[in-house]
Amino acid sequence: MGKRIVANPGRCVGCGVCEVVCSVGFEDMVNPSRSRIKVARVEERAVDLPVVCLQCSDAPCSDACPVGAIGKSEVDVLRVSREKCTGCGLCVDACPIGAISLDHEAGIALVCNLCDMDPACVKNCPTKAIEFLDVDVKEYEKNRPALTHVEGLSAGERRRALAEALGKPGKFPDPYDSPGYKSARKVVEQVFAGR
């Protein structure tokens, strides 16, 4: 068993609160492009999917790093060493779900570290589309799409494939009709007002 962030795309309204609180917490600025969590929109299905590091036990991102900048902490959470990371992007290519991005300004990889086991994105998600749960890690990782061996997929295509893999046929609710949308909007406004 282990703690992981688990996404429920059926609850996500695409408000971006998770991206905002993550960027504020790590970078002390509202800049979703520097967030460790991303919200991928799949237009064909009208679904928004939070994409966050799965904390893979085999950590293909760490294996791909030529300078050893990505490793596990004492609580088995991935960490990026700002001192070692060269921003080469090999970890981005190695991530099977497209959860890693590069901060081009700082020249480093952005990987979720679970906020020292107290994820701000989870605490602030108004619709509970992301939860921090005890999971059977082996079962959890079995659900990871087998995209590592697919040649030529970009991170965006991986995100799209993940959304498709997790999506179910049928009608997804319009995010603007969601009961959580107004409360999500209120949280975003509060975050912006507080800065």
Summarised one tens digit per residue, pLDDT across range 117-174 is: 999 999 999 999 999 988 777 776 666 553 333 334 455 555 555 545 444 333 333 3
Encoded tokens for 193:
């007002």
Provide the pLDDT for residue 170: 30
Provide the pLDDT for residue 125: 95
Per-residue three-class SS string for the chain? CEEEEEECCCCCCCCCHHHHHHHHHHHCCCCHHHCCCEEEEEHHHCEEEEECCCCCCCCHHHHHCCCCCEEECCCCCEEECCCCCCCCCHHHHHCCCCCCEEECCCCEEECCCHHHHCCHHHHHCCCCCEEEEEECHHHHHHCCCCCCCCCCCCHHHHHHHHHHHHCCCCCCCCHHHCHHHHHHHHHHHHHHHHC
Residue 89 C-alpha from the chain's centroid: 17
First to last CA, the chain: 38
- pLDDT at residue 4 above 50? yes
Domain 2-182's class? alpha beta
Provide the pLDDT for residue 166: 41
Domain-by-domain residue ranges, the chain? 2-182
Provide the pLDDT for residue 112: 93
Residue % of the chain over a pLDDT of 90: 30
**pTM strictly above 0.85:** no
Q: What pLDDT, in 10s, does the model give residues 80-97?
A: 999 999 998 889 888 877
Provide the pLDDT for residue 149: 30
Provide the pLDDT for residue 67: 94
Contact yes or no for 32/90 (Cβ under 8 A): no
Task: Please give the mean pLDDT across all residues of the chain.
Answer: 76
Q: Which of 57-61, 179-183, 186-190 has the lowest mean pLDDT?
A: 179-183
Provide the pLDDT for residue 11: 86
Return the residue matching tokens 């928004």.
48
